[in-house]
Amino acid sequence: MTSASYPATRLRRTRATAWSRAMHRETLLTPADLIWPLFVTDGAGVEEPIASLPGVSRWSVDGIAKRAKEALDLGIPCVALFPNTQPDRRSDDGAEALNPDNLMCRAIKAVRDACGSDVGILTDVALDPYTSHGQDGLLDDRGYVVNDDTVAVLVDQAVNQANAGADIIAPSDMMDGRVRAIRMALEMNDHPNVQIMAYSAKYASAFYGPFRDAVGSGGLLKGDKKSYQMDPANGDEAMREIAMDISEGADSVMVKPGLAYLDIIWRAKERFGVPVFAYQVSGEYALIEAGAAAGVADRDALLMEKLLGFKRAGCSGVLTYHAPVAARLLNG
């Protein structure tokens, strides 16, 4: 990149007025860049505020359908669903994940009924909302999360969600080989157009706490998820994860959490040129809200700057609990 030296070049020239700044803006954020994660709970007409995620609630299936309508009205193209499974339906093997009438499947159908195919439905594949131990997979005698037997269950979970009407299957479990296995099963079960958005580079992060409250797995979890989720120190390994998931048939990949991993997003986009999504996770949301409440900065300005950062780093879109707030701001 070349430019003349000062004073022939004055980079402040184009910044002097609002119209000129608008004209030279390199990155555009729109509501179509947002995916809205929603938490589902049992019952009817239920809204349960989540203390660690101020402004976010669990909704019963009827409320989820209303939120999906709201997404449609705001120009948000896709919602992501996460169930808070009743305690008596959680088990060691997470079998409730395969129940065609589970909370997740009922929510998928309710969104489909309310919005037709105008809103995308993304569903998380992993066993943690269904296991009595809060881990994403099956445990052996020593408490190790086993890979291949877990993948077999995840495949059935994915097909169960696709049968209910999911548009995008998003495996968040970090098992090896699950993308290929799920892709093959979707092809064989008459779901050739159901997408896979792989949580490819998902780190063992301290930012997931409020999410675990929201799905009710936090209190159950003993230990951590470091034997399957990635070490935050590693970037090259993330490129290998992403390369593998693409080769196994992922339509798009995800980096998670978001803000501390912008370099991973950038590297992935530069290297592979595939659609990359970021998950601005629960802890990131909660910190923005807490910062604003503490008077650090204006909430809206903080969240818009962060979302723009994801786009600038190369994201096609961002999963964020701030999606409706951001969309309203963008829609002016």
Binding residues vs ligand PBG (CB under 6 A): 124, 126, 128, 136, 172-173, 208, 211-212, 225, 281-282
Q: Report which residue's Cβ sits closest to ligand PBG.
A: 211
Compute the least distance from the CB of residue 38 to ligand PBG, in Å.
Answer: 12
Q: Which residue numbers are catalytic?
A: 202, 256
As annotated, the binding site for Mg(2+) includes 241
* Segment (H or E) for 122: strand 120-125
Compute the least distance from the CB of residue 218 to ligand PBG, in Å.
Answer: 9
Indicate the residue among 204 and 239 with the shorter CB distance to ligand PBG.
204
Residue 35 structure tokens: 């995916």
With contact defined as beta carbons under 8 Å apart, do 136 and 127 qualify? Answer: yes
Compute the least distance from the CB of residue 257 to ligand PBG, in Å.
Answer: 7
Angle, in degrees to the nearest 10, between helices 236-247 and 262-272? 50
Q: Measured between alpha carbons, how far is 104 from 325 in angstroms, rounded to an integer?
A: 24
Indicate the residue among 128 and 289 with the shorter CB distance to ligand PBG.
128
DSSP SS3 for 246: helix
Q: Which of 245, 214, 228, 239 is closest to 321 using CA atoms?
A: 214
Indicate the residue among 114 and 260 with the shorter CB distance to ligand PBG.
260
Compute the least distance from the CB of residue 24 to ligand PBG, in Å.
Answer: 34
Phi/psi-derived region of residue 43, left when phi > 0, alpha when psi is between -120 and 50, beta in every other case: left
Q: Measured between alpha carbons, how far is 30 from 326 in angstroms, rounded to an integer?
A: 9
Q: Which of 79, 56, 45, 86 is closest to 216 using CA atoms?
A: 86
As annotated, the binding site includes 241
Indicate the residue among 187 and 231 with the shorter CB distance to ligand PBG.
231
Bridge-based pairing state of the strands 47-49 and 57-60: antiparallel
Indicate the residue among 52 and 189 with the shorter CB distance to ligand PBG.
52
Compute the least distance from the CB of residue 2 to ligand PBG, in Å.
Answer: 43
